[in-house]
A and B are shown apart, each in its own frame.
Chain A
Amino acid sequence: MNAPLLDVRGLKTAFPTRAGEVKAVDDVSFTLQSGQVLGLVGESGSGKSVTGFSIMGLLEPPGRITGGEILFDGVDLAKLHQEDMRSLRGRRIAMIFQDPMMTLNPVLRIDTQMIEAIEAHRKVPRGEARACARDALAQVGIPSPEERLDAYPHQFSGGMRQRVAIAIALINRPDLIIADEPTTALDVTIQSQILSEIQKLTAEHGTALIWITHDLSVVSRLADDVAVMYAGKIVERGAVGDVIDRPMHPYTFGLVQSVPSRNRKGARLAQIPGMTPSPLDLPAGCAFRTRCGRADEACATPPPSAGAADHVCRCFHPREVTA
């Protein structure tokens, strides 16, 4: 097999705060081949976005990478200079942020921003850049794209803003896209249209994709592999069918059970008992143990890897997997 496009090894990212250090990402490792789609799911606050920011070199100070490597095409991004990183961003690696206003400038017109994104990495005549921007808007399902180019972000609906941010990320056909909850506010029809554009890009251009989402139905249909995060760690990883149909880790199992369509209408929804532990005060050993039905004394020490290489989890007592 070829060397992976992205190889994240033991990544640790922390935010010092007055109350102590928040270990937002704690020893995360995964690899990604060109054209591959990795779904990154997990508890809210488990470190998915921070993993993305770390790869992009966009951590908000005082947050910083405290350990590990991020090899992109063999180069360690964690050690790259700001300037080199800037020239990679947008051209070879792009991120679709959970907050579209991290991409968009509220005081600039949409056309100005899109044309800027194109011209930052390519030399094209103005008119061509504008046409390219218009087509990109149409691609993500914005009606009347020509006229909408003249608008400002606040004149767009929430989902439209999200789609402009997607269009900007796709516009230079990068090699790696980190998409952070990019379709949270989009209805199924528009979601399908965008997913089909993205599938085209991965198939035709070999773009690799990290798709951060809580939407298991999207993951199940889009991703090759899925990684599940809990409290800063990847607790389970494997092929999407294995992880969702036969979850090994008790957290993943609880997550899959909470999907509304698996519950009777109007009845209380199944939820994982207890609360997310404070990031400043994680239980020793397995961080899930205060909420886990299978926990015992052993779980107070760091859990080992269980399962096979293509479907692993970190747990002392994984659920039985019947193949």
Chain B
Amino acid sequence: MSAIAYSLDAAAPHCGAVPMVEIRDVSRRFGRKPDLLGRASIALGLVKPPAVVRALDRIDLTIAKGEVVGLVGESGCGKSTLGRIVAGILPPSEGQVFWQGQDIATMPAVERRAESLRIQMVFQNPFAAINPRLPVAEVVGEAPRVHGLIEGGRGAEAAYVDEQLVRAGLDPSLKGRYAHQFSGGQRQRIGIARALAVQPEVLVCDEAVAALDVSIQAQILNLFMDLREELGLTYLFISHDLGVVEHLSDRVAIMYLGRIVEEAPAVEIFSRPNHPYARALLAEVPRIEIGKRAFSSLKGELPSPLHPPSGCHFHPRCPYAFARCKIERPELRTVAPGHKSACHLNERH
């Protein structure tokens, strides 16, 4: 089985070239390990053991140059954490991160700083992500000026900032204002303009269009697609909006409680999802349906990254779970060309 799996992998389109980003066996935990005294107190039952959140559990992911990888999964499953690790903002607890084949942990600091400019992140919360004490012109213009991306004097800088704002659908005459004077969607676009202003090669978009009305969202998504065509920009696109992900992505990875459970070309995953969680998730692509509807809530015990279930994390909610699922973690295996899934059902015929 595994030999076949490898040859199928080799047939995958992006093989050969060095991937833009590669994440190898990355885990991330939050919450400190207790010190000696702490451990003793816990052993004696004097204090509760500190809660450790297992946000990411042995993740592998590669993103080729010019590719758009969509990342979806339940709230709290670790998408932002993975995004921050890809962007080099957060170190993994274990595992390695490669940018164009280079392990960022072993890069000299100077080089790392230069490289980190090429990978930018649009943060999930537009309210917290922008320095409140700087006018928008500075928020957007500072980094490109400092890094010498703008040729010419003050006039050139102003023109450059205007261009960035217009591209993101913002009125440049408002650039003297501060973040708090903008609406939610306007702030989100300031974040997008700031990230694009340093001319990155990779953009990690964390719910980057979530606060935008559909027309402005369309404008931004069209901009993303143009940049990709013109400059070969690479994207890790985190979103809960399956319609947007389907529209934009080449490949989609689905996460569940800190693990990637399925990964496949977008067309394939939306038409033939393999993993039971993926099937449940994708069955719910929201459409415009008129008429008051009872919203049903999902059955089953809620999974917690504080106490992840044994074996397959999805087993307490999975309608197909069998004995092995409680004991053994299913590995991410190739089930069709370029299509991987982590479910024991695939080996039970």
Say whether A and B bind each other.
yes
CB of B292 within 8 A of chain A?
A: yes
User: Which of the segments B91-99, B173-181, B197-205 contacts the partner chain?
Assistant: B173-181
- Distance in angstroms from A288 CB to nearest chain B CB is 12
- Distance in angstroms from A176 CB to nearest chain B CB is 19
A271 near B75 with CB under 8 A, answer no
CB of A74 within 8 A of chain B?
A: no
Chain B's closest residue to A239 (CB) is B290
In the complex, chain B residues whose CB is within 8 Å of the CB of A60: 180
Interface of B is mostly: loop
A221 near B243 with CB under 8 A, answer no
Report Cα–Cα, A139/B80, bound state, in Å: 23
B304 near A144 with CB under 8 A, answer yes
In the complex, chain A residues whose CB is within 8 Å of the CB of B217: 214, 258, 260, 269
- Distance in angstroms from A190 CB to nearest chain B CB is 5
Number of interchain pairs (Cβ within 8 Å): 222
Report Cα–Cα, A144/B308, bound state, in Å: 11
Mark each residue of chain B from 278 to 314: 1 if its CB lies under 8 Å from any CB of chain A, else 0.
0011001111111111111110001111110000000
In the complex, chain B residues whose CB is within 8 Å of the CB of A221: 286, 289-293, 295
In the complex, chain B residues whose CB is within 8 Å of the CB of A156: 76
CB of B212 within 8 A of chain A?
A: yes
In the complex, chain B residues whose CB is within 8 Å of the CB of A254: 215
CB of B53 within 8 A of chain A?
A: yes
CB of A157 within 8 A of chain B?
A: yes
Report Cα–Cα, A269/B288, bound state, in Å: 17
Chain A's closest residue to B307 (CB) is A144
Mark each residue of chain A from 203 to 222: 1 if its CB lies under 8 Å from any CB of chain B, else 0.
00000000000111110111
The residue that A157 contacts in the complex, of B80, B221, B286, with Cβ under 8 A, is B80
B side interface size, CB within 8 A: 76
B290 near A216 with CB under 8 A, answer no
The residue that A258 contacts in the complex, of B74, B215, B280, with Cβ under 8 A, is B215
A side interface size, CB within 8 A: 82
User: Which of the segments B102-110, B151-159, B182-190 contacts the partner chain?
Assistant: B182-190
A271 near B207 with CB under 8 A, answer no
CB of A125 within 8 A of chain B?
A: no
B290 near A185 with CB under 8 A, answer no
B290 near A217 with CB under 8 A, answer no
Report Cα–Cα, A268/B302, bound state, in Å: 38
B225 near A268 with CB under 8 A, answer yes
- Distance in angstroms from A39 CB to nearest chain B CB is 12
Report Cα–Cα, A181/B210, bound state, in Å: 9
User: Which of the segments B38-46, B124-132, B136-144 contacts the partner chain?
Assistant: B124-132
In the complex, chain A residues whose CB is within 8 Å of the CB of B285: 188, 261
B240 near A186 with CB under 8 A, answer yes
In the complex, chain B residues whose CB is within 8 Å of the CB of A193: 295, 297-298
B: residues with CB less than 8 A from A are 30, 51, 53, 72-76, 80, 124-125, 127-128, 166, 169, 171, 173-174, 176-177, 180-186, 189, 206-207, 210-219, 221-222, 225, 240-244, 246-248, 266-267, 280-281, 284-298, 302-307
